[in-house]
Amino acid sequence: MFKKSISIMIMVAIVFGTMLTVTAQDNDKSYKMWEDMMFTPDNAHLKILGENMRKHNQKYHKDGVYKATVYNITTGPNAGKIIWEMGPLNYGDLDKRPAVGGHDEDWRDNVSPYIKETSTVEYWKADKDLNNTAMLDSDNSKYPILFCRYYEVVDEPTPGLRTFFERTSKTVKALSGVNPWGIYYNEFRQGNLGRHIVTIGFSPNWADFDRDVNWVENFNKVNGENSWQNQMDLYSTTFKNVWDEVWVYDKNLSGD
């Protein structure tokens, strides 16, 4: 239970006024944000969708702030769906995003017809102070498996929210080895979807999930004796739903 698959969690939304302080540090415009579109492919035309999406991404989303990265969701309630992700970018970049010059027409005519449903489009902002992602670079194939844990925050003040993730971040950074991990806030309210916050652990392969990092022992060592029990108390009072997904990088469909 306390192996890396539990301890190295993932990308979050500001849903309540009490959460504004969590992202106040991003007001200097140096933040990193990603646009994520989750959709259900038409499985009867997967080959055509793949070919056309790759051509689209290679032409319009190959690099820079508009670079597209594609993931297949392999576990959880959204298994079988696809994530199309653009970034990292900021809001100002969205005003100059690819649209003219055939971009929108290409997506409309060659990609969209092979998508059965778009579940949601979200903007996830990284917490640069808590994240342990400095070792990541533009080569997504180095850490192609993402362990995502989504958190739905309770509908009331949550004074322990920041403390919960600060402790987690502190422990991740103290672990031996290389442990890329990040926390991300969903910028817009999601109604009853509950996708408020996500933590992401980046793994080089599936075997990495077997690595036991002695999470509880290290947590108490870093945060103080019996701090794990207090963390569990915070967990039960701060979140009303938590679930996991695993994303696998699809190099063939991405703009790389």
Task: Give the pLDDT score at 10.
Answer: 32
Phi, psi (deg, nearest 5) at residue 171: -70, -45
User: pLDDT (tens digit, 0 to 9) for every residue of the chain, 256 residues total?
Assistant: 344 433 333 333 333 333 443 444 445 678 999 999 999 999 999 999 999 999 999 999 999 999 999 999 999 999 999 999 999 999 999 999 999 889 999 999 999 999 999 999 999 999 999 999 999 998 999 999 999 999 999 998 899 999 999 999 999 999 999 999 999 999 998 788 889 999 999 999 999 999 999 999 999 999 999 999 999 999 999 999 999 999 999 999 997 7
Task: Give the pLDDT score at 4.
Answer: 46
Task: Give the pLDDT score at 28.
Answer: 63
Task: Give the pLDDT score at 149.
Answer: 98
Phi, psi (deg, nearest 5) at residue 77: -65, -20
| Strands in 75-188 per DSSP E | 82-89, 115-126, 145-153, 181-186
Q: Domains of the chain, with CATH numbers?
A: 4-249 (3.30.70.100)
Task: Give the pLDDT score at 27.
Answer: 57
CB of 172 closer than 8 Å to CB of 7: yes
